[in-house]
Amino acid sequence: MQKSAVRDAIVVQLQQELDLQARAAHDSREEATSTESKSEGKYDMRSQEAAYLAEGQARLAAELVESITLYRALDLPDFSDGRPAALGALITLETKGRRTVYFLGPRNGGLEITYDKTTCLVVTPSSPLGRQLLGRVVGDSVQLPGRGGPVAHRVVELA
């Protein structure tokens, strides 16, 4: 799995979400300024509610723009030389023969990307798993919660 392709897939997914949020913010702004939303009494808050909604959606759109900018500028170092995991790492964990791929990104943890028939989950350094993955090398283990208590997952690949 190529990291640059994973990063590009993340940017595409964020861009799609941005387009959706921008349209929603525009629609909410139109509703807030529409003559149909004009207050019909002192307790009628339709236009005010639509304005609050538009503001929230515009703020979310701005955060998505920041995320897209961060991912486009993200350095993708090569960790195959034994360097410890850092931002931009593609990390494969294995437990009981099952492999899971994670991308250590600057934002938008929880984003799931499918590339080349492999699912990759974005984690950030501020998440519990992201904190554990930082500084790991191939062969190290991390502990993740499981049904019967913590389960060890071994780092089997770092790119």
Which of 47, 73, 99 is at the close of a domain?
Answer: 73
Assigned domain for 79 exists = no
Domain range for 53 is 3-73
Flag whether pLDDT at 40 surpasses 80: no
Tally: H helices and E strands in the chain: 3, 6
Residues 6+ away with beta carbon under 8 Å from 99: 92, 93, 156
Flag whether pLDDT at 42 surpasses 70: no
Nearest CA among 81, 99, 96 for reference residue 1: 99
Q: pLDDT per residue over 97-149, tens digit each?
A: 999 999 999 999 999 998 888 899 999 999 999 999 999 999 999 998 888 88
**Domain holding 146: CATH number?**
3.10.50.30
Q: What is the pLDDT of residue 47?
A: 67
Residues 99 and 55 in one domain: no
Q: CA-CA distance, 90 to 76, in Å (whole number)?
A: 9
Q: CA-CA distance, 40 to 63, in Å (whole number)?
A: 35
Share above pLDDT 70 across residues of the chain, in percent, rounded to a whole number = 88
Output the pTM of the full model: 0.83
Structural domains of the chain, count: 2
Residues 68 and 118 in one domain: no
